[in-house]
Chain A
């Protein structure tokens, strides 16, 4: 009797190893219609017939632990043979398949509501461990407030829209000017003079019709900030005044909404994630703003166009991580980027127990 080049486990053991620190990559090898009817939490879809081609994207490392399943355990065993033939060494097939899993009364089999067009559009996300159809659905159900449709908001908005973040509420009070186009790539030459929020909305709709854009022409103030944050999962802070930044911070802390904060100046930028209850808020970082005469005017300083582009894309990256619940968001960490040096510096930012917004003496205190 020859030894199989893979291990077989039952559903209960499969569930145990999926919950272990050495969690394997979970691959569903069934056909599309079977997958559409429901699949296991965290699975990546790779039909048996083509798994020999798709596996290198899913698991570039041949020693990576892989757990395969199908409906009843036959096709996953065959797929494991195929992968063993390609040099994969850490393979497990779930005997009994998803049918056995359900029969064992194990936790819910997820179903996706992605349309065929969405499956195609987001196919590169669907391949990713940690995203998949489940994560994509999360993004489509997410609502983000973007404060500003300028240097930071332009790239952040484009990438969030491309990623399929389902609802983008954008507030800005400005109109597109020719001098914006050097960096604010969401706007175009023929839209100079148009309201920025209308220009941004047009570009986002052209990029991804899945996204519901809510353009708001105005300025974020202490009066309207709570209304602006209503129903929002996360904020991209592209504000340019201390008044707006502190108003946003204080309301976001009260409502428990994470803010991805960033700033740029000439050839340098900074970025952090302010997540209430999980790390410091903006007032922990800077308890008070400088008086106006001490705050250097950025308008005369200039900025390399690509700088807010890169930092805005990093903001979008952090936003997706927080929305998906993956990776290590920059919570309690302030990242500085010096583009001329090509260097990153990371500073540790701690929650201030005496913070007037989120400290121990406030209703939000003691959480972090």
Chain B
């Protein structure tokens, strides 16, 4: 089983630049746990201390917001795509005035 997790550009410094990371997991939570096991610096970007998702990080499973599915309990299957999407600071390429 292989699940593609798409890493947003703002978090790629934590995956050594990788845009897509392939991991296994029977649920979304297990999948993301497998992801942070590979790239530990992502942990605090994605998870709160109590292992829930950070409120400003959205995760989409095959295009649908996991919050409207089963959250971290959402079952996964081979070949699906998971997209991580944190809030972006802006239409910004510079600190001000974009």
Binding site for B on A (CB under 8 A): 148, 150-153, 172-174, 179-180, 183, 196, 237-242, 245, 262-268, 270, 285-290, 294-299, 301-303, 307-308, 311, 334, 336, 345-350
Contact = CB atoms under 8 A, between A and B. Distances in A.
Contacts of B54: 290, 294
A142 B2 CA distance: 50
A263 B91 contact: yes
Interface of B is mostly: loop
Contacts of A153: 91, 98
A238 B60 CA distance: 25
Contact of B97 (A150, A264, A289, A301): A150
A268 B92 CA distance: 12
A240 B55 contact: no
A230 B65 CA distance: 33
Nearest to A265: B9
Contacts of A150: 91, 94, 97-98
Given A242-B87, A345-B83, A299 B60 contact: no
Interface string B3-26: 000101111010000000000000
Interface residues of B, number: 31
A152 B94 contact: no
A195 B94 CA distance: 17
B22 to A, nearest CB: 16
Given A267-B9, A294-B45, A179 B56 contact: no
Contacts of A264: 91-93
Given A151-B93, A348-B64, A350-B65, A290 B87 contact: yes
A290 B86 contact: yes
B56 A290 contact: yes
B10 A296 contact: yes
B41 to A, nearest CB: 12
Contacts, number: 132
A148 B55 contact: no
Given A239-B90, A347-B60, A347-B65, A299 B9 contact: no
Nearest to B85: A347
B58 A263 contact: no
B88 interface: yes
A240 B83 contact: no
Contacts of B68: 350
User: Which residue among B9, B58, B60, B98 has the maximum number of chain A CB atoms within 10 Å of its CB?
Assistant: B98
Nearest to A291: B56
A9 to B, nearest CB: 45
A77 B58 CA distance: 59
Contacts of A334: 85
A308 B93 contact: yes
A237 B23 CA distance: 36
A302 B6 CA distance: 20
Contacts of A345: 6, 63, 83
A266 to B, nearest CB: 5
B91 A238 contact: yes
A238 B98 contact: yes
Contacts of B97: 148, 150, 172-174, 180, 196, 240
